Amino acid sequence: MGLFGAEAAGGGPAPGLAMGGTPRALGVGMDATTSPASLASLLSGPVAAQLVSRGVLLDKLLGEEPRSWRNRLETALMAQVRDSGDAATFEVLHELSRRHLLAWVRSRILPGGRPLDPQEILQDTFVNIFCYRHSFRDEGGRVFGAWARTIASNAVRRAANQPVRFSFQALPEGLQEPTDPRALPDQVAAAEEDIRHLRSSMGLLLLHYRRAWDLLGERDRRMLQWVEVDGRSYADLAEELGLRKNNIKMIVFRARLRLRAEMHRAMDGAEGGSRPAAVALRRGA
């Protein structure tokens, strides 16, 4: 079952290994900003099995505070991402830590300064976390949270220090020098950095798209394949399947909506409501 498609059971047992060595999903929240439903779908399946194989105890330790528990699991996940580059593990880490990092980003934006988009800075933070994953160190009590907050603070500072560029074309009419169309060295460097970030962001976008695609029902995936990849017409499919053309259009339309809704939920940090996303997505099955 996919990361965004697990249906949580509220108030389940503490995480650990069930009989036969199968990891049990988390059933309780770690703190007030992490919902029990999302936690129940996070540390389960292959990601949890990999953590256990590395000697990570998924259970909340006796006397361990919720924040310390979260820090310990985040650090273990980041170490696994550093060593393997596993996309599924990075998704779990993103889902577990994004609310806390978003709150940190908002706290670092100075009131009265230039307007900054916290969500955009958060996205930039996670891109850099993945790009610089090999520099993460978890020895000597180091934790992911402190390392990630440093990266987030740098992202806020970069965004706040972005120069506001003017052109002579914006000045009132009169004597003025012609605008030089060539880019300045700092503009070239900024453009190259933007390209690198864009490539990394595109990788994350495709990762979220693939996860959303996997959550679609078989019928929805087949219809999208025929229409968007194979280029088949609605009329041709209606005749072959014995359905009305409007029915084919509606199936494709709803499949696209499910893809978009799941990607928005994963990338924008929107709460998915009381029902897991997979319940709505599987209606296309």
d(CA 184, CA 19): 64
Model confidence at 234: pLDDT above 60: yes
Summarize pLDDT for 213-228 with one digit per residue, the tens: 888 888 888 988 898 8
Residue for token digits 């697990």? 6
Same domain, yes or no: 243 and 102: no
Torsion angle in degrees (nearest 10) through CA of 44, 47, 51, 57: -20
SS3 assignment for 12-81: CCCCEECHHHCEECCCCCCCCCCCHHHHHHHCCHHHHHHHHHCCCCCCCCCCCCHHHHHHHHHHHHHHHH
Look at the chain and report how many structural domains it folds into: 2
Is 217 contained in some domain?
A: yes
Tally DSSP H helices, then E strands, for the chain: 11, 2
Give residue-wise pLDDT tens across range 137-173.
Answer: 988 778 898 999 999 999 998 888 877 655 555 555 5
pLDDT at 229: 86
Report in angstroms the alpha-carbon separations of 254 from 162, 212, 217, 245: 41, 13, 11, 14
Let me know whether 148 and 207 are in one domain: no
225/145 same-domain check: no
The reply to whether 11 and 80 lie within a common domain is yes
For the stretch 187-205, pLDDT in tens is 777 778 888 877 877 877 7
**Residue 187 within any structural domain of the chain:** no
- Which pLDDT band, with edges at 50, 70 and 90, does 180 fall under? low
pLDDT of the residue at 151 = 92
Distance separating alpha carbons of residues 175 and 209, to the nearest angstrom = 52
- Tokens, residue 41: 């779908």
DSSP string, 180-243: --SPPHHHHHHHHHHHHHHHHHHHHHHHHHHHHHHHS-HHHHHHHIIIIIS---HHHHHHHHT-
More confident of the two residues 187 and 11? 187
Same domain, 275 and 147: no
DSSP state of 10: T
Residue 277 · residue 215 · CB < 8 Å: yes
Residue 152 sits in the same domain as residue 210: no
- Do residues 259 and 207 both lie within one domain? yes
**What is the percentage of the chain residues whose pLDDT exceeds 90?**
11
- Same domain flag for 98 and 139: yes
Residue 174 has pLDDT above 70, yes or no: no
* CATH number of the CATH domain containing 226: 1.10.10.10
Tell me: the pLDDT tens digits for 253-274? 888 888 888 888 877 754 444 3
Per-residue burial over 255-283, b = 16 or more CB atoms within 10 Å of its CB, e = otherwise:
beebbebbbebbbeeeebeeebbbebbbe
Q: Report the alpha-carbon distance of residue 199 to residue 187 in Å, rounded.
A: 18
Per-residue model confidence (pLDDT) at position 273? 41
pLDDT digits (tens, 9 = 90+) for 20-63: 332 333 333 344 445 444 454 567 788 888 888 888 888 778 88
Same domain (yes/no): 103, 1: yes
Average pLDDT, the chain: 74
pLDDT on residue 83: 92
The predicted structure's pLDDT at residue 169? 52
Higher confidence at residue 27 or residue 237?
237
Domain ranges, residue 43: 1-163
pTM over 0.85: no
Q: Is 94 helix (H, G, I), strand (E, B) or coil?
A: helix
Band of the pLDDT at 177, cuts 50, 70, 90?
A: low
